[in-house]
Chains A and B, each alone.
Chain A
């Protein structure tokens, strides 16, 4: 008796929750997937908080699963139960998901907001609209930070990518990402290969050997990282002298945490991060996701995000609107990877090359690591 009553009560509860959910043509629950940390906090403050304030009754849940977004979306698709509505991924993952039909194709001019001056979204995002499903959000870079207090006396602070490979002038440990991307490019640059030839050389067997041989020269002084938070932690501990990571993480460690760390922008590698909408959502959920993305990637919202974290907005029309840090009150423009002073020498990540060669070079790199 009691059991039946409880069962009935819980069912009724579930039903009433369901009826609240269905308001017209858009669902009111939305699960956004991102990377956690300061980055997700900036998205929450700049995009989802104002969106919820404007659309009463909408609830947003964050899931910090972007690191395994591709695998999880595949599994969800196979199980026929997609619980995510909008997913933040790097451009390379977006391309893979799009190729596999797991992400919704987006018509930028139709489904994204035009710039305030009327420029179409397609022109406003420009080259950054890579792939048919990817909605660009930020430009970030992978670059180096170093401990200012561990620079040897009488030596200038490192300002050249090749200082990473110069153990004599700058002794100490380095933190590098535990994957070939970026590392092999930097190695070739410092082994006398011209910037425009890097990917040509890398596509040959000898070129790959050359890159690994260069990395071999510092191998005993490298700690390999796999999460973006590792390098700031290692730098704060003084365990490494310099290390690569995402520029926003270094900004947070330097400006928000007052760590004795300096930025070395030379040969920073640009990459893109943005949204995709999973394919196969119910029409109500898809409508809500598109509505959110339209709002969250307009000119003002992208500029707002730069108040919280030092990643460059993906729209050209957002750049002039970038202001000051929300709590520190410092100008954000000089901390952007795209700032002219920082972007004196940048390296462009080649999506097509890595799409073709990633598995091969990955295997070689891991074998080299295991030697």
Chain B
């Protein structure tokens, strides 16, 4: 059969496939048994089932699809008989994993990704490495899923109700999304965040890029000291920056209100935007400086030799080449402002309440799943935003004839 790698011997059932499949099934059995209070009995039963699966797989190597679907079905039915819809779905997943692992081991597919000369130990390490990477991704991403799941809770608590676990319709509800999208309590902070973050980003990107370009010139005196000062908002503990900013911006705001007659709300926005711009500047400086390292200065000299003034040279020659750094700096600056809760609590007043502020107070005072709905919406928005930026970047690289990185 084509599945078997020709230059490896077929896996041996008794010394290889069967023990490993049994071990995997025993782990599932341990987890399942733990839920009813008998983890070791569960592991034992799991091992027996795993051995049986390995035996079935070994004798049906050519009927891969049919056997795998059969296993999924059998485990799902078993789960449903012993429990409910929730355990049936868990059963189907266990069946799918066991079936896949059985064939993966029995057909020698586990060697598919490694060169033929690898020893058993190297192959083991290769697959262990893949497993570790998988776990890293899992632990980074997995905490988001309960948040998303719970945001559809029909109750006002962070609790998986029996109805939710049994996938019954009455356990689920969109009411927290209604609360999020339909009330001023959440929409006003969202609007404030969407006013503050983009303006602060524009300011940090303009100032940060200018500073990075200037500081990358070797003739600037004291550039290390200047760099250190500009980066400091990133290093100084936020609570200290926030306290300092509070006392710095309060008289500034009073002056703006008293002398220029600006409204309190408007001045409040100015204060928060400036404070957030300061927090965003270090990110822009770092990313733009990093791209400037790879920038060939003879290009600006070439432009100058052809009579281009410095400003057009900057925008037409230098800017397009350092654009990736500027964009990633802008993304960081935006996220810094959009996520920021400490400084806005100090500098802002209630008219500038941002989304993180609302989430913070909501979490402390009411623990309502509306926060989870808000978090879910934000996660989806961030994914869409990053995907769009990445797609645009690839498109522009394609258009400019550069191969995608």
Report the separation of the CA atoms of residues A233 and B368 in the bound assembly, to the nearest whole angstrom. 9
Residues of A within 8 Å of B171, CB to CB, are: none
Contact across chains for A227 and B250 when beta carbons are under 8 A apart: no
- B173: Cβ under 8 A from any A Cβ: no
Q: Please choose the segment from B230-238, B263-271, B333-341 that sits at the chain A interface, where 4 or more of its residues have CB less than 8 A away.
A: B263-271
Q: Which 10 A-B pairs have the closest CB atoms?
A: A63-B350, A79-B250, A36-B365, A83-B349, A14-B262, A17-B263, A37-B366, A81-B250, A236-B157, A64-B361
Contact across chains for A237 and B157 when beta carbons are under 8 A apart: yes
User: Which residue of A63, A256, A257 has the most chain B CB atoms within 10 A of its CB atom?
Assistant: A63
Chain A, Cβ-Cβ closest to B353 = A63
- A354: Cβ under 8 A from any B Cβ: no
Contact across chains for A11 and B159 when beta carbons are under 8 A apart: no
Residues of B within 8 Å of A63, CB to CB, are: 349-350, 353
Among A6-45, those with CB < 8 Å from B are 11, 13-15, 17-18, 20-21, 29, 31, 33, 35-38
Among B86-105, those with CB < 8 Å from A are none
Among B336-395, those with CB < 8 Å from A are 346, 349-351, 353, 361-362, 364-368
Closest Cβ of chain A: how far from B25's Cβ, in Å?
A: 32
Chain A positions 243 through 275: 1 when the CB is less than 8 Å from some CB of chain B, otherwise 0: 000000000000011010000000000000000
Residues of A within 8 Å of B159, CB to CB, are: 233, 236-237
Q: Total interface residues on A, using CB and 8 Å?
A: 40
Q: A14-B266, A83-B268 are in contact. List 13 more A-B contacts (CB 8 A).
A: A15-B261, A15-B262, A20-B263, A21-B263, A67-B365, A75-B246, A80-B254, A81-B253, A228-B365, A229-B367, A237-B158, A237-B159, A256-B156
Chain A, Cβ-Cβ closest to B266 = A14
Report the separation of the CA atoms of residues A82 and B92 in the bound assembly, to the nearest whole angstrom. 61
Closest Cβ of chain A: how far from B387's Cβ, in Å?
A: 32
Residues of B within 8 Å of A324, CB to CB, are: none
Among A272-317, those with CB < 8 Å from B are none
Q: Which of A14, A20, A31, A257 contacts B157 (CB 8 A)?
A: A257
Q: Which of B251, B264, B364 contacts A83 (CB 8 A)?
A: B264
Closest Cβ of chain A: how far from B366's Cβ, in Å?
A: 4
Chain B, Cβ-Cβ closest to A285 = B264
Q: Which of B262, B349, B361 contacts A36 (CB 8 A)?
A: B361
Report the separation of the CA atoms of residues A300 and B292 in the bound assembly, to the nearest whole angstrom. 68
Chain B, Cβ-Cβ closest to A235 = B157
Contact across chains for B365 and A18 when beta carbons are under 8 A apart: no
- B295: Cβ under 8 A from any A Cβ: no
- A65: Cβ under 8 A from any B Cβ: yes
Residues of B within 8 Å of A76, CB to CB, are: 250
Residues of B within 8 Å of A18, CB to CB, are: 261-263, 266
Among B115-142, those with CB < 8 Å from A are none
- B260: Cβ under 8 A from any A Cβ: yes
Report the separation of the CA atoms of residues A300 and B365 in the bound assembly, to the nearest whole angstrom. 27
Report the separation of the CA atoms of residues A223 and B203 in the bound assembly, to the nearest whole angstrom. 47
